[in-house]
């Protein structure tokens, strides 16, 4: 009987702790623009940051070989995602 009471108590405690909310860090969206070029299997992704005054600042240029235009586009989306979550430019791959 004591074991059953112990198991029931642990089960209720587990359910109570499962109700806590997990705070997810809010990502501040920055205005990035990309220029994705693919030529002869070489994919080049150029990223600019749109400034508040309307001007653009070069963030970086990433290049590499890709199998298709879709793979090149995916690489561009991956780079933008990494920048939006705050990955330092030097660590973006």
- Domain contains 18: no
Alpha helices in the chain (DSSP H): 2-18, 69-84
Q: Strand 32-39: give its sheet, edge to edge.
A: 32-39, 42-50, 56-65
Question: For position 40, which CATH number holds?
Answer: 3.10.20.370
pTM of the model: 0.63
Find out whether 82 and 74 touch, Cβ atoms under 8 Å.
Answer: no
Three-state DSSP class for residue 43? strand
Q: Please report, rounded to a whole number, the percentage of residues in the chain having pLDDT higher than 70.
A: 68
- Domain contains 5: no
Task: Count the domains in the chain.
Answer: 1
Lowest mean pLDDT among 14-23, 26-35, 47-56: 14-23
Q: Burial, 76: exposed, middle or buried (Cβ in 10 Å; 0-12, 13-18, 19+)?
A: buried
| Domain span at 70 | 28-91
Give the residue with greater pLDDT, 11 vs 37. 37
pLDDT at 11: 58
What tens digit of pLDDT does each residue of 40-63 get?
999 999 999 999 898 999 999 999
């Amino acid at each position: 009987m004591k074991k059953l009471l112990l198991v029931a108590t642990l089960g209720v405690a587990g359910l109570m702790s499962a109700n806590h909310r997990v705070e997810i860090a809010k990502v501040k969206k920055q205005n990035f623009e990309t220029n994705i070029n693919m030529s002869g299997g070489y994919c080049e992704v150029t990223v600019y940051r749109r400034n508040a005054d309307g001007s653009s600042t070069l963030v970086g240029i990433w290049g590499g070989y890709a199998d298709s235009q879709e793979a090149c586009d995916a690489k561009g989306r991956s780079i933008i995602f990494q920048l939006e979550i705050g990955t330092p430019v030097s660590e973006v791959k």
